[in-house]
Structure formats: structure tokens, C-alpha cells
């Protein structure tokens, strides 16, 4: 293995590990949000004016005097600070990736690491605004979207330098690339709806499945209030400010979004599995089906179990997994960019099956 290929392999491994760290930040952020610890520290970037959580009695008394509207809850404060520490580690890792790409003298891509640095800086601002604007749903949802975007871009960066694909897919599969893009867009929209549902405390607006409550498929809703993106500052959004009909409208929209994703991505997966029977494309098709079924099952379990914390956090992880699998499929169907400079061949097994 030459020096250039070694550089690609090391960079790809570092990017993959950073993507894993991004996934951990997403899961921990979901845990913080779902355990109502998003305002465990009422200031930013410290916690009650400290780098750590006030622990002794004097420090707690001082913090309570400084923030009488938000007295210290040690357990919640540590959850929030753990998320901040981990997010800071992710930011540092992304900066180091960008520095590594810059120092490689053109052997590694500079554009995507630069975008990731800008994105993680903006994520830090969103984290600050989440606290200072008291978990405003628009900011919280944007923060979640930024986390998913960071994960997806890191994974794409890792795949691009890994030699992930050793042969080009057959033309019949490559023609599905726009449809995979469509599936990824739908999943991302559903992630946004999920963030909006969670940040507006609408996850339990419907307590039955497949009906909503009382055997009703479509109870009274208020869509006019449900999707107001800006309500001004100075409002404490913790535990929500919407009425029950607006929360029901949000919940039902999220359910309908899930149905659209299930039908579209499920049909896309079946098309892929019908066109190939072996190889990487087949494995990715199976992975999409598995991730889709897992996510659907977790969503139903959240409703029937009245939002168990572990299941709700796993639901966020399932969404991230679905995004990662679709990004992998999209990369597989993209024009060849093998880092070693070798020309990609043709997946002859796939081609022969599609010629019949």
C-alpha cells in the first residue's frame, strides 16, 4: 500500500470515528431533551457561571441566588453539561479533520471538511440559542437537523476516501439515484417533523395506534397554531405552550409523514432487491428495509408504551441509522471516485441480472 493510499485510509478511519462521535452526540442530545434537562444549565457555555456543575452547598446556594427562576437540579445539570462536553469534543475532532485535509497538500478534499467546520460552529450557536431562548421549538428542531446533517456529511466524507465501492453498479441501478435522493429528502423532512413533535411535547398527543385517542382516527386539530415557527423571545417553552388540538395536529402530521416514508422508501427498497440478488447493492437494500422496519416499530412502541425514555432515544438513533444507510446507498450509486485512482469496474453480476 502506497503513501497516498495509506493517507486515504487513515483519513477515512478518522472521519468514520468522528461520524460515530456525531451519532453519540445526537443520542445524548435526545436523552437530554427527552429527560427534560435541556435547561438543566440556564446559561451558556458554563453552568451557573461555572465550567462544571455546582456541587457543594455554598456553590449551589450562590447559583440559586444568581438564577432564582431556575434553581439547581444537579442530575439535569450534569446531563446538559455532558452533552456540551461531548459536542465540544466533536467540534474539535472536525477541526482536526479539516486541518489534516489542509496539511495533506491536495491529496485530500478540502471543501467538505471546510463545510463541516462551518456547520459545527453554527451548531454551537444553535446550542447557545437553545438555552438562551428557553428551548424554542424552532431552534431545537434546527439543532437536531444540524446534528443529522453533521453525521451525514461525516459519513459521506468517510465513504469517499475508503474505497467503499470496488465496482460501479449496473446502469439499471444507477438510474435509481434520483429516487434515492427523493427518499433521503423525505426522511430528512420526517426528522424535522420528529424534532418539531418532540420540542412541542406532542409525542403523546395521540395515545392509541392506529387511531389517535377514543377510537378516533382524526380528532379535533388546530393546524393554524401547530406550525407557527416564531412566537417571539422571552417565552419559556419548556413543557410546551400549545393547546391539545395543536399538539394533536403536529402528532398526526408526523404519523402521515411516517406513512409516506414507509411507502416510498419501502417501495424503493423492493425495486432494488428485485434488480439484484447479491453484492453490496443487495446488502444496502436489506439494510434500508431493516432500518425502516426498526424505526416504524420504535415509533409505535413510543405511542403504546407512553414514551419510554430508552425507546424514545432509540427512535432518534433509528432515524440516524436510516439516514446513514440511505447516504451509503446514494454514495454507492454515485459516479466513481475511488481514492486510489483506480478505474472502477462494472458489477457484472448485477449487469447480467438486469440484462434478463
CA distance 310 to 318: 12
Q: In this model, does residue 343 exceed pLDDT 50?
A: no
Final residue of a structural domain among 107, 128, 162: 162
Which residues span the domain enclosing 292?
167-356
- Using alpha carbons, select from 219, 162, 167 the residue that is nearest to residue 17: 162
Final residue of a structural domain among 127, 162, 197: 162
Instruction: Say yes or no: 49 and 11 in one domain.
Output: yes
Q: In this model, does residue 240 exceed pLDDT 80?
A: yes
Cβ proximity of 87 and 23 under 8 Å: no
Instruction: Say yes or no: 224 and 346 in one domain.
Output: yes
Instruction: Say yes or no: 93 and 178 in one domain.
Output: no
Instruction: Say yes or no: 253 and 281 in one domain.
Output: yes
C-alpha cell, 288:
434500508
How many domains is the chain partitioned into structurally? 2
Instruction: Say yes or no: 123 and 75 in one domain.
Output: yes
* Given 69, 80, 238, 245, the catalytic residue: 80
pLDDT score at 1: 46
Question: What pLDDT digit, counting tens, does each position of 254-273 carry?
Answer: 999 999 999 999 999 999 99
Instruction: Say yes or no: 262 and 328 in one domain.
Output: yes
Instruction: Say yes or no: 1 and 38 in one domain.
Output: yes
Within 10 angstroms of residue 164's Cβ, the number of other Cβ atoms is 16
pLDDT score at 6: 61
Question: What pLDDT digit, counting tens, does each position of 20-69 carry?
Answer: 999 999 999 999 999 999 999 999 999 999 989 999 999 999 999 999 99
Instruction: Say yes or no: 155 and 125 in one domain.
Output: yes
Cβ proximity of 209 and 251 under 8 Å: no
Catalytic annotation on 73? Answer: no
CA distance 67 to 297: 42
pLDDT band at 300 (very low <50, low <70, confident <90, very high): very high
Instruction: Say yes or no: 158 and 41 in one domain.
Output: yes
Instruction: Say yes or no: 229 and 87 in one domain.
Output: no
Instruction: Say yes or no: 61 and 98 in one domain.
Output: yes
Final residue of a structural domain among 129, 162, 195: 162
Cβ proximity of 134 and 238 under 8 Å: yes
Amino acid at each position: 500500500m502506497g503513501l497516498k493510499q495509506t493517507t486515504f485510509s487513515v483519513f477515512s478511519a478518522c472521519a468514520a470515528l468522528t461520524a460515530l462521535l456525531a451519532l453519540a452526540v445526537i443520542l445524548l442530545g435526545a436523552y437530554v431533551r427527552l429527560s427534560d434537562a435541556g435547561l438543566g444549565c440556564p446559561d451558556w457555555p458554563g453552568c451557573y457561571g461555572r465550567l462544571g456543575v455546582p456541587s457543594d452547598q455554598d456553590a449551589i446556594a450562590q447559583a440559586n441566588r444568581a438564577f432564582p427562576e431556575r434553581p439547581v437540579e444537579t442530575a439535569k445539570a450534569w446531563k446538559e453539561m455532558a452533552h456540551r462536553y461531548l459536542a465540544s469534543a466533536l467540534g474539535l475532532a472536525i477541526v482536526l479533520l479539516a486541518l489534516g485535509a489542509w496539511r495533506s497538500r491536495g491529496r485530500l478534499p478540502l471543501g467538505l471538511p471546510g463545510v463541516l467546520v462551518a456547520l459545527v460552529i453554527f451548531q454551537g450557536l444553535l446550542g447557545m440559542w437553545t438555552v438562551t431562548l428557553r428551548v424554542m421549538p424552532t431552534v431545537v428542531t434546527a439543532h437536531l437537523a444540524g446534528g443529522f446533517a453533521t453525521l451525514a456529511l461525516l459519513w459521506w466524507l468517510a465513504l469517499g476516501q475508503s474505497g467503499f465501492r470496488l465496482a460501479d453498479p449496473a446502469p439499471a441501478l444507477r438510474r435509481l439515484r434520483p429516487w434515492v435522493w427523493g427518499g433521503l429528502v423525505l426522511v430528512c423532512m420526517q426528522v424535522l417533523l420528529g424534532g418539531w413533535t418532540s420540542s412541542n411535547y406532542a409525542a403523546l398527543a395521540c395515545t392509541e395506534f392506529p387511531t389517535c385517542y377514543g377510537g378516533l382516527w382524526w380528532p379535533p386539530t388546530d393546524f393554524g397554531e401547530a406550525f407557527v415557527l416564531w412566537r417571539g423571545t422571552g417565552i419559556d417553552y419548556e413543557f410546551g405552550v400549545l393547546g391539545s388540538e395543536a399538539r394533536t395536529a403536529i402528532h398526526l402530521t408526523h404519523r402521515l409523514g411516517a406513512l409516506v416514508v414507509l411507502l416510498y422508501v419501502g417501495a424503493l427498497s423492493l425495486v432494488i432487491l428485485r434488480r439484484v440478488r447479491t453484492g453490496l447493492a443487495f446488502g444496502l437494500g436489506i439494510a434500508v428495509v431493516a432500518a425502516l422496519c426498526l424505526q416504524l416499530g420504535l415509533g409505535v412502541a413510543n405511542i403504546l408504551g407512553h414514551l419510554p425514555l430508552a425507546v424514545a432515544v432509540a427512535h432518534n438513533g433509528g432515524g440516524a441509522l436510516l439516514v446513514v444507510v440511505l447516504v451509503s446507498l446514494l454514495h454507492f450509486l454515485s459516479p466513481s471516485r475511488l481514492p486510489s485512482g483506480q478505474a472502477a469496474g462494472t458489477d457484472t453480476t448485477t449487469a447480467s441480472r438486469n440484462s434478463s
